Amino acid sequence: MTEPQAPTTTETERGVLVALIFALVAERLRVHYEHGQWLTQAQCSTLAADWLARSKRKLLLALRQHLAGLSDQLARQLAESTSREAGLHVSHELQEALDPRYQSELGQSVMAECARMLDENPQPFDRLRANG
């Protein structure tokens, strides 16, 4: 019997990028439905930097902007494809799904879409990574 292996650094970094897109989508939808506005790319890039700083991680601005752009596409797509009532539900569900203990089929589906978007819209991550 073999021991499960720890995720590689690349897998871990990819997971962080996917999680950032997901969190930005959740925050964009929350602000959209609560305040009737969309967060800007600059606001989302700053939010991502703040969130990363909590775990002593950093990403260069270009990569944070790329993730912010992907989150904008997905958040607007979700808002445009649902009624206001359904959108409010989606927004609430994604906020809840930010807690890893909360199990949500919708959250898992959106997380998978975030991963797909990242895979289909790669950046030259080796140039964009910041150590630290």
CB contact at 8 A, 66 and 120: no
> pLDDT per residue over 59-105, tens digit each?
999 999 999 999 999 999 999 999 999 999 999 999 999 999 999 99
104-130: average pLDDT = 83
Average pLDDT in the chain:
89
| Predicted local confidence at residue 3, as pLDDT | 53
| Predicted local confidence at residue 86, as pLDDT | 96
* Cα 111 from Cα 124, distance rounded (Å): 22
* Cα 1 from Cα 29, distance rounded (Å): 45
| Predicted local confidence at residue 126, as pLDDT | 46
| Predicted local confidence at residue 17, as pLDDT | 96
| pTM score of the predicted model | 0.86
2 pLDDT above the threshold of 70: no
Residue ranges covered by each domain of the chain: 11-122
| Predicted local confidence at residue 10, as pLDDT | 79
